[in-house]
């Protein structure tokens, strides 16, 4: 499994509920993403930075998703290009479902 973390600056003032609504509009795209196991949207307190934390079944799934078109969509919506951090994820814990997953 692989984690990716995107981070971008929101260049125009926006309220938390407004950004949550923008995040919610993107759900269909992420539900359809091949190999995406989970995504967590985040806001950095006290700043204008936001992003997503993604868990992917394989690095190829992540690479196929993060295209120049993805970067442009973030820039068009929030005003800046995202940065991307890629991490190996050997184990995940899900306390909601009482489960864990070991990468194969």
Considering just the CA atoms, what is the radius of gyration of the chain in Å?
14
Strand partners, 6: 52, 84
On whether the pTM is more than 0.75, the answer is yes
CA 98 to chain centre: 23
Query: Is the backbone of residue 71 left (phi > 0), alpha (psi -120 to 50) or beta?
Result: alpha
Looking up residue 78, the CATH number of its domain turns out to be 3.30.70.100
- CA–CA distance, 10 with 8 (Å, rounded to integer): 7
- CA–CA distance, 58 with 44 (Å, rounded to integer): 27
Mean pLDDT by 10 residues, the chain (104 residues): 96 90 94 96 93 96 95 94 95 93 87
Identify the domain containing residue 56 by its residue range: 2-102
Domains held by the chain: number: 1
The pLDDT, as a whole number, for residue 35 is 96
């Amino acid at each position: 499994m692989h984690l990716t973390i995107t981070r971008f600056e929101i260049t125009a003032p926006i309220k938390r509920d407004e950004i949550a609504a923008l995040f919610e509009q993107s759900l269909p795209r992420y539900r359809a993403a091949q190999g995406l196991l989970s995504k967590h949207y985040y806001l950095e307190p006290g700043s204008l930075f936001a992003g997503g934390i993604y868990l992917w079944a394989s690095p190829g799934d992540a690479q196929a998703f993060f295209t120049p078109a993805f970067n442009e969509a973030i820039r068009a919506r929030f005003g800046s290009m995202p940065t991307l951090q890629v991490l190996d994820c050997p184990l995940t814990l899900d306390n909601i479902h009482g489960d864990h997953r070991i990468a194969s």
